[in-house]
Amino acid sequence: MVAMKPRDRPAEATPDLRKYAWLAIVTAVLTVLLKGSAWAITGSVGLLSDAAESMVNLVAAIVALVSLTIAARPADDDHHFGHSKAEYFSAALEGIMIFVAAASIIYLGIDRLLNPRPLGSLGIGLAVSIMAAVLNGIVGRIGSRSARATAPSPCAPTAST
């Protein structure tokens, strides 16, 4: 049996990854809210940096959804091999956002080192942050299982073999 290339597969045989992008968006919104709350409760720059990282994940998930929607379009006169390169823009934007978040975290960290302030309600803040981590863990497990279920077998024959 010869494996088909993604553009040769019928649409119903190709998994719609957009539902996972939507799941990632909903999860990222909840995570940003939880981690932002944890920061507001404690005043911890560490928890603020965690919330900033979650914001990067939210924007990346939104861009991934847009990219997957564009990439799912069939080939046309202007794009003979389809629109799959749209997914690269998602990766580039996420890289830029990670850099911006890192610079912001460094700035805030230096400010906190120079102007220390006591933290408040650490127990509640950490409990809220742990809830966000558990939520991310559950969704990560769902993503891993779906990736394993939809990924082609590395031993499957291809057209070139």
Asked whether residue 137 is assigned to any structural domain, the reply reads yes
Asked if residues 122 and 42 have their Cβ atoms less than 8 Å apart, the reply is yes
Does residue 153 fall inside a structural domain?
no
pLDDT for the residue 159: 54
Question: What count of Cα atoms within 13 Å lies in the side-chain half-sphere of residue 38?
Answer: 27
- Pick the closest to residue 30 from 138, 103, 124 (CA basis): 138
Per-residue pLDDT of the chain (161 residues; tens, 9 = 90+): 444 444 444 444 445 677 887 888 899 999 999 999 999 999 998 888 889 888 888 888 888 788 777 777 766 767 656 566 666 777 788 888 889 888 988 998 899 999 998 988 989 999 999 999 999 899 889 888 877 776 666 665 555 55
Residue 115 in domain = yes
Count helices and strands (H / E) in the chain.
4, 0
**Residue 34 falls inside a structural domain:** yes
| pTM of this structure | 0.69
The number of domains in the chain is: 1
| 99, part of any domain | yes
Which domain does 120 fall in, by range? 17-75+88-143
Which residues make Cβ contacts (< 8 Å) with residue 81, sequence separation at least 6?
7, 75
